[in-house]
Amino acid sequence: MTQRKMEIQLNLQPPLFLRTVEALNVLYLVTLSLLSLIFFQRVQAWPIIVVGNALVVALILVLVRAAENHQQRNYRILRDWLPAPLILLTFKETYLMVHPIHPIDYDSLLIDLDRLLFGVDPTRWLAQFSHPVITEYLQIIYSTFYILPLLLGYELYRPQRSREFQYAFFVIVYGFYLSYIGYFLLPALGPRFTLHDFQSLDHDLPGIFFTKYIRLFINTGENIPPGAADPSAFAQRDTFPSGHAEVTLIIMYLSTKYGLKSQWFFYPVGISLIISTVYLRYHYVVDLIAGALLMVFAIMTAPAIDRWWRSYSTRK
């Protein structure tokens, strides 16, 4: 093959088209890497973050190219669903970065705002209604949070609804990242550490059977070792705003927007999940208010961002 023919073939190579959610993931991963480099003296895991994010960005680009150049279904499936595990990956990276970069907890401010709005500490006020059956139900519901986006995506994952699937995933990931930014700006532990005794939760707010094990699983996922003398030293600063409230409301909104049958599941579960965040002492009410406001911001700005990126990327 002559050099001229090779140049023609290279020039005919189609441009790499990133979906909006893929571009958002690349942007966020690069941003986390830059932050870890800027604060490398504080963020001890910066080499892992930088190298790991570079590998993930490379994986995104490789999958995009493979899905576009090959008709194999496996490549398309991997590309379509990759944003889901990246939500968890970036969440864990915030754990490694938030407290070292911003080592001040703002729980006292959030407590004061709750008291200003309601005249009481909502988690303490709700304690009068606690019952093992209610606790068991709400703890189980709380644990379903990361399953809800997958259920929404599963119902939309049809060839005729491909565009809706992609947009829904973008809005959900966008919502998660907005809440993560809030963790950097206003780190806080939550009322289970500040207004209540974390070590006594199983005694003060008992369930029936699953509650204790679910709590242990959630605490382990938040890097809190069982029996730690000072669990707050290990806990993630992921209280404000409430990503649980924000993303759950986004999912409820999308299920209605697209007329999904699952909306009749998301609404009762979603409302219960939002209530559980305060009842189970994970969040202050002001966290939920901030999460609701972020949800409105996300759904109002997402269409313009999506239109701009799609227009920009197709002009390349």
Q: Write the pLDDT tens digit of every residue in 83-99.
A: 999 999 999 999 999 99
Domain boundary among 101, 122, 153: 101
- Count of the separate structural domains present in the chain: 2
Tokens 């990242």, residue located: 177
**150 and 65 in a common domain:** no
Which range has the worst mean pLDDT, 11-15, 36-40, 117-121?
A: 11-15
Domain that holds residue 25: 1-101
Residues whose CB is less than 8 angstroms from the CB of residue 279 and which lie 6 or more positions away in sequence, other chains included: 123, 126, 130, 134, 135, 138
Encoded tokens for 114: 């709750």
Question: Do 66 and 123 have their domain in common?
Answer: no
Residues 25 and 159 in one domain: no
Residue 129 has pLDDT above 90, yes or no: yes
Residue from 142, 117, 259, 264 nearest 192 by CA: 142
Residues 123-134, mean pLDDT to the nearest whole number:
96
Range 284-308 average pLDDT? 98
**Looking at residue 316, what is its pLDDT?**
52
| Segment 106-132 mean pLDDT | 97
Query: pLDDT value at position 315?
Result: 64
Give residue 133's pLDDT.
97
Domain boundary among 101, 136, 159: 101
Burial of 43 (0-12, 13-18, 19+ CB in 10 A): buried
Q: Are 182 and 89 part of one and the same domain?
A: no
Q: What is the pLDDT of residue 9?
A: 46
Q: What mean pLDDT, rounded, does the chain reach?
A: 92
Q: Tell me: do 39 and 118 sit in the same domain.
A: no
Q: Is the pLDDT of residue 172 over 50?
A: yes
Tokens of 263: 């909306």
Q: Give residue-wise pLDDT tens across range 134-154.
A: 999 999 999 999 999 999 999
pLDDT of 6 > 50? The answer is no
Asked whether residue 2 falls in the same domain as residue 137, the answer is no
Listed residues 76, 101, 126: the one ending a domain = 101
pLDDT score, position 55: 97
Mean pLDDT value of segment 226-246? 91
pLDDT, tens digit, 9 for 90 and up, residues 189-235: 999 999 999 999 999 999 999 999 999 999 988 888 888 888 988 89
* Same structural domain, 47 and 129: no
Pick from 164, 175, 170: nearest CA to 248: 175
pLDDT of residue 8: 43
pLDDT in tens, 40-71: 999 999 999 999 999 999 999 999 998 887 76
When mean pLDDT is compared across 3-17, 271-285, 291-305, the lowest value belongs to 3-17
